[in-house]
Amino acid sequence: MKPDRFFWILIFSYLPFFPCFSQSSDIIDSLIKVSKTDLSDQERVDIYNQIAYQFDTDSAQVSKYSFAAINLGTKIEYQEGISIAYDNLAWMSLLTGYFDTAEKYWNEALSLAKTSSYWKGEAKAYNGLGLLRQSQGKHSESVDYFLKSLKIMEREEYTVGLAPAYNN
């Protein structure tokens, strides 16, 4: 068994035993309640993206809320929100082993982020593509993507994102 697979199997085996995940359920419940209130369309897209992010490994729920964000974001031409939704879908695809789909979603997120000058989305997409390539054993390509992500974060002085990115 590959070390990467063993790591993920180990992590997912112990997930039910961590009490912090009940907090995530409370957050999801709160976000769903907020999504049903009187919000602007842009705020609703942001809430849908937060809900999808919180569901993390529940592919059906991540898909449901991400596509809701994409549909509404497209209607109101909110490129940043659509980029975030594609990033959520890409992460879910990577975690479930659908590498081609993850790549498609990250490339879409990257394209939208560049079009709308959403530098954080651009950095996140490059970082995601780097992790994807790393998962595929394409280490030289992964380094190129990681460096692109780091360069953007350094340019924008985004210190919060630098530490995890350097860890990659």
The answer for residues whose C-beta is within 8 angstroms of residue 110's C-beta and 6 or more apart is 83, 121, 122, 125, 126, 129
Give residue 117's pLDDT. 94
pLDDT tens digit sequence for 7-62: 455 444 444 444 444 447 889 999 999 989 899 999 999 999 999 999 988 999 99
Q: Summarize the confidence of residues 74-95 as an average pLDDT.
A: 97
Give residue 22's pLDDT. 42
Give residue 158's pLDDT. 75
Give residue 10's pLDDT. 42
Higher pLDDT, 164 or 27: 27
The answer for residues whose C-beta is within 8 angstroms of residue 112's C-beta and 6 or more apart is 79, 80, 82, 83, 86, 118, 121
- Model confidence at 165, pLDDT cuts 50, 70, 90, reads low
Name the nearest CA neighbour of 122 among 130, 114, 132: 114
pLDDT tens digit sequence for 108-144: 999 999 999 999 999 999 999 999 999 999 999 999 9
Give residue 131's pLDDT. 94
- Model confidence at 157, pLDDT cuts 50, 70, 90, reads confident
Per-position b or e across 20-32, b if 16+ CB within 10 A of its CB: eeeeeeeebeebe
- Model confidence at 82, pLDDT cuts 50, 70, 90, reads very high
Give residue 62's pLDDT. 96
